[in-house]
Amino acid sequence: MNYNLKSKEHALALKKLQEKIGYTFKNEALLQEALRHTSYVAEYPQLGKSNQRLEFLGDAVLELVLTSYIFDKCPDSDEGILTKIRSYLSNEEANTDYTRKLELDKLLLLGKGEDAANGRNKPSLLGDLFEAFLGALYCDGGYECAEKLCLSLLPSMEDILARFPKEENPKGALQEFCQEHNLGRPTYELLSRTGPVHKPLFTVRIVLGKKEMGRATGNSLKGVEKQLAGEALKSLKQILMGQSQEQERQVVVALDFDGVICDSAGETGMSGWKAARKIWPKLFVRKVPSPKALQAFRQVRPFLETGYHAILLTKMLQEKLPFQEFQQNCQFHFQRIMDENGLDKQELIRIFGETRDNWIQENEEEWLGVHGFFDGILDALNALLKSNCKAYILTTKQERFVLAALKSRGVDFPAENIFGLDRKKKKEEHLLDILAGKPSEVHFVEDRLDTLRRIEAVKSLDCVKLHYATWGYGTEQDNLDAADDKRLTVHTLQDFNRWLSNI
């Protein structure tokens, strides 16, 4: 089956894309060319060239835009760090992310064979698609248009730099440290250059404010400056550490909600059914799912990553897909259902949120009643809130729903410490924000092994102590894999409740 948009749908989607980026192509043939994969051209050669030439151009445009941007934003970083940052922002994963942000994947024209082989979800293909689109934009609108688009898609420089070990960039780390503590900008002064031309000796000193922080001599000017920056940073940290030792030790515990605190499979399954009924009323005749349907949803609950996925899982169950499809091809079917029904992520989020809001308004007692809380967890949570620890909830649920569910069970959790779907951030980004407050110890508890793997991949989060909840929505294989991961502390519900009550 081929999922390319039909002619009218494609034209409408092209219009929406141009509205989204704030630019209308003067030569739409360039835009059409950027969206034609080689497999499509092989089947319809009369329609024009594939996007390979534009991809070649877009690759160069992207590199120039990123190089200029990074050079300007990272004045204290050497070329090694600059190269790593540029590579991070232009690699296959990054380009795929840009493609999906722009929803170019929906517009991509693929041959039937490539489409049937799940080509629309291949990172290599999607990465090339963004570069081709950028090349077309450059040809039609010039460098400034291409630059504006690229910069609008990038994460903040703060988030970018957080992914790189600061020991690799001592000058940048020192600069950042001085800014955080209002210490001024460090400067490097060349005091002398001696020795033969082929082997010079540079003597440099580093000054912060009016105070010399140190001086050193070496054969490489950059190397000497790096050495001085590292020594100055170490010295400043020791000074501030002496001051901070007088302050109270701050321990942070961040908890996932669904699967750690709340057994929400019943409520999520009901909400998913009610929302699906709004989209497909003829397929979902019953106002509420049968007990058998709810039990089927509970079995596939491990494959739900965020609330609106409940709608798509419910539709997959209605299609009677084999369980193996849920295990192996969930993302493919999510996208297929959205494409077949003209749905997008924001629309599904809106429908799912409105469904819950309406349910709460119509019968709040019923909505609260279908929430389950794991045995003993509420008592342990209340004990945590009475301790000296700072508690957070990191969830993909809307914050207002979490707050309402907890309040109904007598837990007065600080609303400002619930970070949910409304903030549009990943959990690893929330953890980086928490670390910015410089707590002495951070613990994160999660039942999704994939989420913990993502956090493990962020070097700046190495200091976070990770805990895996076996009582949540992980599979048996997830539990076995977690037990083999030396960085994870694996808990049963009983021992976790004891730990949380006494931390």
Record the tokens describing residue 322, joined without a space: 């084999």
| First-to-final CA distance of the chain | 55
Query: Cβ(474)–Cβ(501) under 8 Å?
Result: no
For 263, half-sphere exposure in the C-beta direction (CA atoms, 13 angstrom radius) is 15
Asked if 429 is an active-site residue, the reply is no
Strands 372-373 vs 187-194: parallel, antiparallel or unpaired: unpaired
The structure tokens listed for 228 are 């001085």
CB atoms within 10 A of CB 465: 15
Q: Is 215 in contact with 202 (CB distance < 8 Å)? A: no
Active site residue 59: yes
Dist CA 79 CA 81 (whole Å): 6
Structure-block tokens of residue 100: 């999906």
- Starting at the edge strand found earlier in the chain, the sheet holding 201-208 runs 187-194, 201-208, 211-218
Identify any residues that bridge with 263 across adjacent strands, giving them in sequence order. 372
Task: Name the catalytic one among 33, 55, 59, 225.
Answer: 59
Contact 154, 130 (CB under 8 A): no
Q: How far is CA 275 from CA 259, 351, 408, in A?
A: 22, 6, 24
* Residues whose CB falls within 8 Å of the CB of residue 445, separated by 6 or more in sequence, listed in order: 253, 254, 255, 256, 260, 467, 469, 491, 496
Q: Write down the catalytic residue from 131, 267, 429, 447.
A: 131
**Contact criterion met (CB below 8 Å) for 78 and 171:** yes
Rg of the chain over Cα atoms, rounded to whole angstroms, equals: 27
- Whether 455 and 431 have beta carbons less than 8 Å apart is answered as yes
Residue 45 burial (CB < 10 Å; 0-12/13-18/19+)?
exposed
Structure tokens belonging to residue 357? 């809001």
Residue where the block lists tokens 């009475």: 386
Contact status, residue 77 vs residue 173, Cβ threshold 8 Å: no
Active site residues: 59, 131
